[in-house]
Structure 1
Amino acid sequence: MAPRLLSCFRRSSSEPNHEEKETAGSTTTEEERGPGPVVVELFSSQGCATSTEAEMVFSRLGRGDFNLDVPLVLLAYHVDYWDYNGWKDPFGSSQWTVRQKAYVEALSLDTMFTPQIVIQGRAQCVANEPEEILSCIASAPRFPATSFQATFQKPTPDSLQVSLTGTLSTKVDDQGANLMVALYECSLVTDCVDGANKGRVLANDYVVRRLEKLCSVHDISPKKSISGTLNFPLWEGFNAAKCGVSVFVESPSHLIYFFSSSSSVFMIDD
């Protein structure tokens, strides 16, 4: 049998399996679902000597090694401003550098640095200091969890189509908010042959490969239906079994308003 998409998004099938029926029965209201996860963003680079320790801490967060009672959404952005130092990060992007610059302004910081953790778009700390990270997570604001129905297709061998339908759980004022969709990849291994980490084998998880805005919303009430479709161009060596999708809502300055949905690592028909 060909592999099918596996995720914790609600599926579009009209006949859910037994597990899906139980899930639907246990999450019929926002109150029963409770607060959503905390979004934890890592800014890192393979060209930064101290980022390797932070990447290990980030992976441990994903494995649940710290026994947190708070669900997390983990997204790692590899910046490109260390690429001059002898090693070009294969996952680095100027798009992620621009995102980090926006946080520098929003959080009134003096400068950018790696490795850095930003939590819910509202607090930041050094990413290789686990105690400080856990403290920031514990004090982070939580927002209502909502469910989006998602369908995935590969219209061409080098593209992934993500279609989403759902409702917001919180009113959005006239300043607006953006519904963002991140495509990330785990279990990446790189032999680093130059730069600050020369001779090391680097492991990276939750690496954001694509981040797109599904739509912008302004001055709308809770429970208003939202839908849209994105087409992600895929990279060479794309392996769906190592990838996942997260959806979250943020302000224009990247403050996380509330969390919408997140998938686990998934598989999809070729």
Structure 2
Amino acid sequence: MTNTKTAVELIHEARDIQAGTASYVIQLLNGSNGNGLNEELRKVGANQELTFKGKLARKERIKQVVTHVFLEEMKDRRGKYNALLDEAEKQTRALLMPQFEGLNEADRILYDAEISSLKTKMLLSPNQRTTIQYLEKMVEVASKNGHTAHELQGYFTGQLAELVGKGDNLPHIRPALLVMSQKLAKASQVPNFDEIKGQLDSINQMRSASFAVGQVHTAITENLGHVAGEYVNEPAKYFEDHADTAALVEKKIENHNRFGHDVFSE
């Protein structure tokens, strides 16, 4: 399906998924029809047919299954979250590619001839001052069009490295080189470059953001246990580190769904 949402809408949707963690944890603990974790644990505590050790063991099995279900859901949410950020980043990066119009055929011939002439004069220039003047003229000519400014970036960077590398009269030529660099960069960038760069930085920060922090993380650790608390922000890692346990729980859930077996049995 083709995406029709803007990058901003995708980012908002991703943030909604992240913010929904707290309500999901509350639902998991309390349930909607008396079927939450807390109610299951209460039933075990009230079961007079179980010994004290039996109650503890069953409670641990309940937490193990609920932890599995919880982390599976968090893994799914993180996957959707990352997919939204991927699409938002793709759209945002596309805005960085300037859609400048190229020169028409006649202007291209004139431009290439002038740049070629300036490059030759630079090579034959008698001193550094003249070299800088020719380079300034080249940047001025190229900066009139975004496409040509982008083209000249590589050559200019090479000349810049060579001049700085020699170190001759560097304190005096550095300001001129900086002005040229900024002029060329500005001409070859989209108008709202800083805004776009800021959005990319924001997306990058969101990728490593935690879904559960503070009271939410504390509630998860206290009610489900340290395993859930450890992996809630990296749920996929749980299924790698505890593959055997995950496979066992998945089998229990499958048998419960197919045959009605007690999902919390030994």
TM range (shorter): under 0.3
TM-score, normalized by length of structure 1? Answer: 0.18
Larger Rg: 2
TM-score, normalised on structure 2? 0.18
Q: Which has the higher strand share?
A: 1
